[in-house]
């Protein structure tokens, strides 16, 4: 029986690794650097397929990050540098807010309107852990995560601290535009570096044995002097 469980566990691990190896990776090149995201086709098949369709069509070329809020997220995928809206190429998609993926720092999620099933071309990258965006924290709904940044976090960090301003119809828009020069599916997958191992715990130091307090010394008696006659 134990051998069967071990074989089953091994099969699940191999299947999970194979699924991860098949996940597409997308390079988003901006005027501030490159961001590479890996999509999670297993847990977010609808969102991943939608994003890939926009990437392969060239839709994101010359679009901008039009909403940047440090301590929250950076959003793109819908406007050109002259702030013209791009008409979505595809119908709105069904929300995958219940897929179990959390809006943690450097994950990528679908942007949407108030309706949970209103996402199309726009997306955002979380720059902090935004678990308040997870299902069902947003009025019984949530924002669907469909991938994560595996390279180029420093580019995201450059974007999130940019000086922003408000313009008619826009809030928190960078003063100096962050332009997406290209978004392409990588033909050769990259292997993200393993996170550094945690430092070893400090050695256990045995406490020194408690010392007995020094005995109270009696003052040396001084012989009483005889009065001088």
pLDDT band (50, 70, 90) for residue 225: very low
Q: How far apart are CA 83 and CA 73, in angstroms?
A: 19
Q: Is the pLDDT reported for residue 215 higher than 60? A: no
pLDDT in tens, 156-207: 999 999 999 999 999 999 999 999 999 999 999 998 877 677 778 777 777 6
Q: What is the pTM of this model?
A: 0.79
pLDDT of residue 75: 99
- CA of 113: how far to CAs of 33, 93, 101, 141, 206, in Å? 29, 12, 20, 12, 60
pLDDT in tens, 58-75: 999 999 999 999 999 999
What is the average pLDDT value for the chain, to the nearest integer?
Answer: 87
pLDDT band (50, 70, 90) for residue 141: very high
pLDDT band (50, 70, 90) for residue 11: low
Domains of the chain, with CATH numbers? 22-185 (2.40.100.10)
């Amino acid at each position: 029986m134990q051998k069967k469980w071990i074989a089953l566990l091994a099969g699940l691990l191999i299947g999970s690794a194979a699924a991860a190896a098949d996940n597409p990776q997308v390079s988003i090149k901006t005027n501030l650097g490159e961001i590479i995201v890996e999509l999670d086709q297993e847990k977010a098949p609808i969102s991943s397929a939608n994003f890939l369709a926009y990437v392969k069509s060239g839709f994101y070329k010359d679009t901008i990050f039009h909403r940047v809020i440090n301590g929250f997220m950076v959003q793109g995928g819908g406007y050109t540098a002259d702030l013209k809206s791009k008409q979505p190429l595809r119908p709105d998609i069904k929300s995958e807010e219940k897929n179990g993926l959390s809006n943690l720092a450097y994950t990528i999620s679908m942007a949407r309107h108030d309706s949970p099933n209103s996402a199309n071309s726009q997306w955002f990258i979380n720059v902090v852990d935004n678990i308040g965006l997870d299902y069902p924290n947003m009025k019984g709904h949530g924002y669907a995560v469909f991938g994560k940044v595996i390279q180029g976090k420093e580019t995201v960090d450059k974007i999130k601290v940019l000086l922003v301003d408000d313009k008619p119809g826009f809030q928190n828009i960078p003063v100096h535009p962050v332009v997406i020069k290209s978004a392409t599916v990588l033909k050769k997958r990259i292997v993200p570096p393993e996170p550094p191992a945690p430092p070893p715990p400090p050695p256990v130091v045995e406490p020194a044995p408690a010392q007995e307090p020094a005995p109270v010394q009696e003052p040396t008696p001084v012989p009483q002097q005889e009065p001088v006659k």
